[in-house]
Amino acid sequence: MEKRTNVAQLHAAIGTKHQTRLLSPRRARRALIISALIAVILVFLTLQWFGARVQLHQLNANISKEQVRLERQHQRQSQLQHRQKLLKNNDYIKSQAQTKYGYTKPGETNFRLMNHK
């Protein structure tokens, strides 16, 4: 006759009498609900994160476009300031009046030479 220890006897008795469940049906349902809630929250957060990334990309693109536009405006402003300085110079105004518009001083004769081909 074999002698069994108390632990071995208990294990043998538990295994033969009934199957043990890891979780009761109530706890299993609760764990399933909690897992589903966590999954929904993770999906929601992931969608929010991707939406924020797309929005950030669009904002960066808009910033780049506006920086290019601002640079063009600065160039235009510097051109206009240079033109304003030239227009304050009397010699420049006289030369423009003579070359562009054909104005002459009193007593001067204006000759226009034409190219004949």
Model pLDDT for residues 29-40, shown as the tens digit of each residue: 999 999 999 999
Q: Residue 94: pLDDT above 90?
A: no
Model pLDDT for residues 19-28, shown as the tens digit of each residue: 556 678 889 8
Rounded Cα gap, residues 84 and 99, in angstroms: 19
Rounded Cα gap, residues 25 and 105, in angstroms: 110
What pLDDT was estimated at residue 106? 80
Higher confidence at residue 80 or residue 114?
Answer: 80
What pLDDT was estimated at residue 2? 61
Rounded Cα gap, residues 86 and 96, in angstroms: 10
For the chain, report the end-to-end CA distance as a whole number of angstroms: 135
Rg (CA), the chain: 46
What pLDDT was estimated at residue 21? 61
Would residue 15 be called left, alpha or beta, if left means φ above 0 and alpha means ψ between -120 and 50 degrees?
alpha
